[in-house]
């Protein structure tokens, strides 16, 4: 490479570093506004965040950015990291600048009106209040698909935003397998008595829950030297910069599972971010590979590991000390209780088995909207029919049906599939990890997470966003995305728990 190239690369990295610092500032202020900000400061903070985000947007779409991208895209021999950096920024740049500025501004206004209308509609269980806004957001997204050059495959472009490279054709194949397997398993479980989980619903003081959650997080590999645990209405993970990845939770004193599993879930996201190679700072790649890969890490820790027998063999004695009402409950009863299957209406309350069905329903709906031209007025009927068919439950009103999630009111179409993809990726990673570490279960039952974390750091975490999800899964597992490992895992686990 010539001197001109090196100078240009340094210039580009300095530009990106500015963007990262801006990002870090936004993250810090955002974290504070979700945890400790006094009520009186919220409005002004909103203005500050809006202004900083606009500044970041300007940097992302500037003429200078375009010049950098044009220059580096034309270079033949970029190393992997620089290539990934240029590709990622190019995707974001193209996606944004292809939308005429006035149309994008109109969209932002429409989204904010839709969010307000959705809140109102959900509270009143009145879909008609939200329907015109939903229709408008769908029309905007169709229009954007046109700018991006998509026609019939428009939904692919929406998926691609959250999960680069994933297509409807690919998802159809894996989700159909998954849906049929889960429905079949669910029908067999329904014939069996429901395990007792009443002992998880006593009174569990928030302080005791916090202490126990911190103990579990630290043991499983979350570093409190590079993070902290706080309280917010909705749990989340946020990276403020190198060495600072924070998580939040919310304690329900009447259900032990709620905060505990939200901590393990967010802990999975956070361990991922904590383990990204710090050398990627200044490349905009110091983040997860995609939404779906991020969910694969949180769900791996939360479900595949955090709801396993081995995990509780280690942690249960400490749980019994922390929560005296568990003293007389055998480990096996506890294990069954945290794995109870109960088809329900609400996605965020769903158990590990039925969760994917909630996602597949949303995926099929979005496909019908963007691929099949479904009428907005028909959507609630479609929603309810799918819940009846797959889960055997039916919403009594739209608040517990189509209005339950915020995603569509924010214009986020194509987001939902990442949650279910996380399940599939996670099981696929785990199958290889178990081959590489044959005594993985024994190690976990002894509280030894070093093997697991080391494996994930080496194969997944350290790479950040250098590889796209499809490439990453192929590199690590030698196979493309498949549902078979997750299906095998579910069949084995629930046959054992329910004696099928």
Q: What is the dihedral of CA 29, 91, 287, 63, to 10 degrees?
A: -50
Taking the alpha carbons of 400, 406, 410, 411 in that order, is the dihedral positive or negative?
Answer: negative
Q: Please name which of 362, 338, 342 lies closest in space to residue 354, comparing C-alpha atoms.
A: 342
Nearer to Zn ion, 258 or 298 (CB): 298
Task: Read off the tokens for 385.
Answer: 């029919």
Nearer to Zn ion, 145 or 220 (CB): 220
- State the nearest-atom distance from the C-beta of 166 to Zn ion, in Å: 17
* Site stretch for Zn ion (CB under 5 A), options 7-15, 115-123, 296-304, 395-403: 296-304
Taking the C-alpha atoms of residue 58 and residue 55, their distance in angstroms, rounded to an integer, is 5
- State the nearest-atom distance from the C-beta of 302 to Zn ion, in Å: 8
Taking the C-alpha atoms of residue 267 and residue 216, their distance in angstroms, rounded to an integer, is 10
**In a 3-state reduction of DSSP, which class is residue 245?**
strand
Task: Read off the tokens for 5.
Answer: 């190239």
* Site stretch for Zn ion (CB under 5 A), options 294-302, 306-314, 344-352, 392-400: 294-302
Taking the C-alpha atoms of residue 124 and residue 398, their distance in angstroms, rounded to an integer, is 9
- State the nearest-atom distance from the C-beta of 273 to Zn ion, in Å: 12
* Site stretch for Zn ion (CB under 5 A), options 126-134, 297-305, 324-332, 477-485: 297-305
Taking the alpha carbons of 294, 295, 296, 299 in that order, is the dihedral positive or negative?
Answer: positive
Report phi then psi at 85, rounded to 5. Answer: -60, -45
Nearer to Zn ion, 298 or 303 (CB): 298
Q: Quick check: 418 binds Zn ion (CB under 5 A)? A: no
Taking the C-alpha atoms of residue 402 and residue 412, their distance in angstroms, rounded to an integer, is 15
- State the nearest-atom distance from the C-beta of 291 to Zn ion, in Å: 9
* Site stretch for Zn ion (CB under 5 A), options 19-27, 295-303, 390-398, 451-459: 295-303
Q: What is the dihedral of CA 316, 321, 325, 329, to 10 degrees?
A: 30
Q: What single DSSP character describes residue 231?
A: E
**In a 3-state reduction of DSSP, which class is residue 130?**
helix
CB 237 within 8 A of CB 270: yes
DSSP assignment of 280-345 equals GTTTT-SS-S-HHHHHHHHHIIIIIITTSHHHHHHHHHHHHHH-GGGTTS-HHHHHHHTT-----S
Nearer to Zn ion, 294 or 386 (CB): 294
- State the nearest-atom distance from the C-beta of 47 to Zn ion, in Å: 29
Total residues binding Zn ion (CB under 5 A): 1
Q: Please name which of 401, 400, 363, 408 lies closest in space to residue 385, comparing C-alpha atoms.
A: 401
Report phi then psi at 203, rounded to 5. Answer: -115, 120
Taking the C-alpha atoms of residue 19 and residue 228, their distance in angstroms, rounded to an integer, is 24
Task: Please report how many Cα atoms fall inside a 13 Å half-sphere around the Cα of residue 207, on the Cβ side.
Answer: 0
Taking the C-alpha atoms of residue 162 and residue 68, their distance in angstroms, rounded to an integer, is 24
Nearer to Zn ion, 283 or 404 (CB): 404
Binding mask 254-293 for Zn ion (x = CB under 5 A): ----------------------------------------
**In a 3-state reduction of DSSP, which class is residue 154?**
helix
Range list of β-strands (E), 57-127: none
* Known active-site residue 266: yes
Nearer to Zn ion, 268 or 395 (CB): 268
- State the nearest-atom distance from the C-beta of 289 to Zn ion, in Å: 14
Give the residue closest to Zn ion by C-beta. 298
Task: Read off the tokens for 166.
Answer: 């994933």
- State the nearest-atom distance from the C-beta of 421 to Zn ion, in Å: 12
- State the nearest-atom distance from the C-beta of 424 to Zn ion, in Å: 15
As beta bridge partners, residue 244 has 241
- State the nearest-atom distance from the C-beta of 498 to Zn ion, in Å: 27
Nearer to Zn ion, 298 or 453 (CB): 298
Nearer to Zn ion, 156 or 302 (CB): 302
Q: Quick check: 298 binds Zn ion (CB under 5 A)? A: yes
- State the nearest-atom distance from the C-beta of 251 to Zn ion, in Å: 18
Nearer to Zn ion, 282 or 422 (CB): 422
CA 320 from chain centre, in angstroms, equals: 31
Q: How, if at all, do strands 244-249 and 237-241 pair?
A: antiparallel
Of 266, 295, 364, 366, which residue is the catalytic one? 266
CB 308 within 8 A of CB 339: no
Q: Quick check: 209 binds Zn ion (CB under 5 A)? A: no
Nearer to Zn ion, 248 or 298 (CB): 298
- Residue numbers at the binding site for Zn ion (CB under 5 A): 298
Which residues are marked as active site?
Answer: 266
């Amino acid at each position: 490479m010539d001197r001109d190239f090196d100078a240009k690369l340094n210039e580009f990295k300095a530009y990106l570093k500015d963007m990262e610092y801006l990002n870090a500032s936004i993250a810090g202020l955002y974290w504070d506004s979700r945890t400790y900000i006094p009520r009186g400061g919220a409005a002004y903070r909103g203005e500050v965040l809006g202004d900083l985000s606009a500044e970041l947007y300007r940097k992302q779409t500037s003429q200078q950015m375009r010049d950098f991208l044009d220059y580096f895209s034309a270079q033949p021999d970029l190393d992997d990291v620089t290539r990934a950096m240029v590709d990622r920024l190019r995707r974001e740049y193209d996606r944004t600048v292809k939308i005429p500025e006035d149309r994008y501004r109109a969209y932002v206004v429409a989204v904010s009106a839709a969010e307000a209308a959705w809140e109102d509609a959900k509270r009143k269980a009145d879909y008609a209040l939200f329907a015109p806004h939903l229709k408008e957001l769908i029309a905007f997204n169709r229009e954007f698909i046109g700018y991006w050059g998509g026609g019939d495959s428009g939904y692919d472009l929406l998926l691609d935003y959250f999960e680069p490279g994933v297509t409807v054709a690919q998802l159809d194949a894996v989700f159909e397998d998954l849906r049929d397997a889960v429905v079949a398993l669910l029908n067999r479980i329904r014939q069996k008595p429901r395990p007792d989980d009443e002992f998880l619903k006593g009174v569990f003081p928030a302080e005791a829950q916090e202490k126990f959650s911190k103990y579990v997080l630290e043991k499983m590999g979350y570093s409190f030297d590079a993070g902290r645990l706080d309280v917010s209405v909705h749990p989340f993970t946020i990276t403020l910069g190198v060495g600072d990845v924070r998580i939040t939770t919310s304690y329900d004193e009447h259900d032990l599972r709620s905060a505990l599993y939200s901590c393990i879930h967010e802990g999975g996201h956070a361990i991922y971010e904590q383990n990204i190679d710090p050398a990627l700072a200044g490349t905009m790649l110091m983040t997860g590979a995609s939404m779906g890969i991020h969910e694969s890490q949180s769900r791996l820790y939360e479900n595949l590991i955090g709801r396993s027998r081995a995990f509780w063999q280690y942690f249960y004695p400490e749980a019994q000390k922390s929560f005296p009402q568990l003293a007389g409950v055998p480990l096996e009863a506890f294990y069954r209780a945290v794995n109870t299957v109960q088809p329900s209406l609400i996605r965020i309350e769903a158990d590990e088995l039925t969760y994917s069905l909630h996602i597949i329903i949303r995926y099929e709906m979005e496909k019908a909207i963007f691929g099949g031209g479904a009428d907005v007025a028909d959507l609630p009927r479609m929603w309810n029919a799918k819940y009846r068919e797959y889960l055997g439950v039916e919403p009594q009103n739209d608040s517990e049906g189509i209005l339950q999630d915020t995603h569509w009111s924010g214009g986020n179409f194509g987001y939902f599939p990442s949650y279910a993809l996380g399940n599939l990726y996670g099981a696929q990673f785990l199958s290889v990890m178990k081959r590489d570490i044959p005594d993985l279960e024994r190690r976990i039952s002894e509280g030894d997470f070093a093997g697991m974390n080391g494996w994930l750091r080496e194969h997944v975490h350290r790479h950040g966003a250098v590889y796209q999800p499809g490439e990453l899964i192929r590199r690590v597992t030698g196979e493309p995305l498949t549902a078979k490992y997750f299906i095998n895992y579910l069949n084995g686990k629930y046959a054992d728990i329910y004696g099928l």
